[in-house]
Amino acid sequence: IKLTSTKLGLLNPEVQIPTYDRRQVNPHTVHIGVGSFHRAHQALYLDELLALPDTERWGECGLGVLPSDARMRDALQGQNHLYTLAERSADKQSARVIGSIVDYIYAPEANEAAVEKMANPETRIVSLTITEGGYFIDEGTGNFLVQHPSIQHDLEHSDAPSSSIGLIAEALDRRRTRGVAPFTVMSCDNLQGNGHVISKVLRAYAGLRKPSLETWIEANVAFPNSMVDRITPATTRADIAWLATRFGIDDAWPVVTEPFLQWVIEDTFSNGRPQWERVGAQFTTDVASYEIMKMRLLNGSHLAMAYLGALAGFTYVQDIMADQLFVTFIERFMEEVTPVVPIIPNTSVPEYKKSLIERFSNPTINDQVTRICSEGSAKIPKWLLPSIQELLDRNLSVDLLSLVVASWIFYLGKGVDEAGKTLDIIDARAAELTAIASSAEEDPSLMLGISSIFGDRLFTNAIFQEKTAGALHLLATVGVAASMKQYLKRN
Ligand code: NAD
């Protein structure tokens, strides 16, 4: 059955459908970057909240700013902005139609409508999941990339901007001049201190436009930090076919995700917010500790399995986790990292680690190894190197972590897996890094000396240099499995 609002009643009764009147839903949130993750996470929280009695009818309007978002606009518009969210694990498969997105604007063809939607007093939150690239931040320095062509374009055409930053700034400026209270700007991207990042970028941009706007933003706009978690791979044709066969739904672009989800938010909003705590979100003043726990254990483990797994020829995360050597390696990796994982009240680190092993092992998620390997030059400095530095500062072991760093360098330098198959290396710095990494086996200092990745302290740390060089040499001589075994035996 083709998914549309008039056909909801005809769907397989196993499929959960919106029980609320979608005509009453107000899109108080405008969300930029309606991709897989947003539709598996924040849109679901709103859908659950809308289904409860006595709640504000708080829904959202999607906003796409890239040309490639035309596909999402077409998919959603063809089905009254409804879509199916499927949860899969070894013992459970469920499907639910999400109704919280009630409108969608495709900015490349309607940027005035996009700005006016956000400038409208009905809009109370503008949220984002636009990937790291959407923030125009230099990975090395953390500075705003003023010279970026999109930013230069928007500064020259500030009343008809095309980037997320330009659009948000223009909408805030119109609210300011019209005497309308600002919306909250809420980043839900996987960036440490995501609220701080978007605040810094937006204020820097506003300052270049007009200092009075920057001052107004600083005084009035809230930028809550948040930690978001739910492993959600890109939807495949096989997922679409599976949904049709298993639940009888013909959906142009469903989302398939894992059962686990978590959202930890700082409670600072400039213009009200939905009562997300009623549907499982956690409010705290200490988002940073949750972020560090997640980045060091979840994202760190992803890196620990990614490059070794790619070199060993694996395609999916679940296949890596079906190999006991890798499971033991990941468990021991997490043990090595644990001394630098913060203690959080009411959170058990052993339980968290156990749940990660289960989540990674979910045999139905088909999370691709190429996805977790991608953009290593941005991920390694955030998810691995801070753990190494802190462990070294405390004279603790970094053996397994060094092997992981070495595996990334080896993967970049080799370009093929152990069976000789070409690796699909996705990284904004791929050309530069693969060239440097190809000679790293003889002399890793050139690679480890890249200060925009490794910083200055690790470059001058003899233990880290020696351990990484040793691990590289071992990988080159005995291969992935034998290297991992040697490390596990030694530690
Ligand atoms: P996706 O590819 O499905 O969607 C990405 C969305 O971001 C698209 O709408 C795209 O148009 C938009 N986008 C990309 N670059 C942009 C730019 N420069 N400017 C404006 N919009 C841009 O990806 P996804 O799975 O939805 O992941 C998006 C982000 O969500 C991730 O980068 C991460 O920060 C966060 N996240 C994802 C997961 C996950 O498992 N997928 C988990 C936690 C957090």
Residue 400 CA to ligand 1 center (angstroms) comes to 30
Do residues 84 and 247 lie in contact, with contact meaning Cβ atoms separated by under 8 Å?
yes
Residue 257 CA to ligand 1 center (angstroms) comes to 15
Do residues 195 and 266 lie in contact, with contact meaning Cβ atoms separated by under 8 Å?
yes
The CB of 33 under 6 Å from ligand 1? The reply is: yes
Q: Which atom of ligand 1 sits closest to the CA of residue 230?
A: 42
Q: Which residue, judged by its Cα, is nearest atom 29 of ligand 1? A: 131
Residue 38 CA to ligand 1 center (angstroms) comes to 8
Question: Which residue among 41, 61, 130, 205 is best mutated to probe the pocket of ligand 1, counting the most ligand atoms within 8 A of its Cβ?
Answer: 130
Residue 199 CA to ligand 1 center (angstroms) comes to 19
What angle, 0 to 180 degrees and rounded to 10, lies between the N-to-C axes of helices 430-437 and 399-414? 110
Q: Which residue, judged by its Cα, is nearest atom 1 of ligand 1? A: 35
Do residues 126 and 40 lie in contact, with contact meaning Cβ atoms separated by under 8 Å?
no
- Secondary structure (H, E, C), the chain: CECCHHHHHHCCCCCECCCCCHHHCEEEEEEECCCHHHHHCHHHHHHHHHCCCCCCCEEEEEEECCHHHHHHHHHHHCCCCCEEEEEEECCEEEEEEECCEEEEEEHHHCHHHHHHHHHCCCCCEEEECCCHHHHCECCCCCCECCCCHHHHHHHHCCCCCCCHHHHHHHHHHHHHHHCCCCCEEEECCCCCCHHHHHHHHHHHHHHHHCHHHHHHHHHHCCCCCEEEECCCCCCCHHHHHHHHHHHCCECCCCEEECCCCEEEECCCCCCCCCCHHHHCCEECCCHHHHHHHHHHHHHHHHHHHHHHHHHCCCCEHHHHCCCHHHHHHHHHHHHHHHHHCCCCCCCCHHHHHHHHHHHHHCCCCCCEHHHHHCCHHHHHHHHCHHHHHHHHHCCCCCHHHHHHHHHHHHHHHHCECCCCCECCCCCCCHHHHHHHHCCCCCCCHHHHCCHHHHHHHHHCCHHHHHHHHHHHHHHHHHCHHHHHHHHHHHC
The CB of 129 under 6 Å from ligand 1? The reply is: yes
Q: Which residue, judged by its Cα, is nearest atom 9 of ligand 1? A: 33
Residue 131 CA to ligand 1 center (angstroms) comes to 4
Predicted local confidence at residue 461, as pLDDT: 93
Q: What is the pLDDT of residues 225-265, one digit of tens each?
A: 999 999 999 999 999 999 999 999 999 999 999 999 999 99
Residue 36 CA to ligand 1 center (angstroms) comes to 7
Predicted local confidence at residue 491, as pLDDT: 67
Domains of the chain: residue spans and CATH? 5-284 (3.40.50.720), 288-490 (1.10.1040.10)
Mean pLDDT by runs of 10 across the 491 residues of the chain is 96 97 97 98 98 95 98 98 97 96 98 98 98 86 91 95 98 98 97 95 96 98 97 94 97 97 97 97 96 97 98 97 98 98 94 97 93 93 96 97 98 97 95 96 91 89 95 97 95 67
Do residues 383 and 329 lie in contact, with contact meaning Cβ atoms separated by under 8 Å?
no
Instruction: Compute how many other C-beta atoms are within 10 angstroms of the C-beta atom of residue 438.
Output: 15
Q: Which atom of ligand 1 sits closest to the CA of residue 37?
A: 26
Instruction: Compute how many other C-beta atoms are within 10 angstroms of the C-beta atom of residue 280.
Output: 13
Residue 474 CA to ligand 1 center (angstroms) comes to 36
The CB of 194 under 6 Å from ligand 1? The reply is: no
Q: Which residue, judged by its Cα, is nearest atom 21 of ligand 1? A: 130
The CB of 161 under 6 Å from ligand 1? The reply is: no
Q: Which residue, judged by its Cα, is nearest atom 35 of ligand 1? A: 189
Residue 188 CA to ligand 1 center (angstroms) comes to 9
The CB of 131 under 6 Å from ligand 1? The reply is: yes
Residues 6+ apart with CB under 8 A from 237: none
Residue 68 CA to ligand 1 center (angstroms) comes to 12
Residue 334 CA to ligand 1 center (angstroms) comes to 27
Q: Which residue, judged by its Cα, is nearest atom 38 of ligand 1? A: 37
Phi, psi torsion values for 183, nearest 5 degrees = -85, 165
Q: Which residue, judged by its Cα, is nearest atom 17 of ligand 1? A: 134
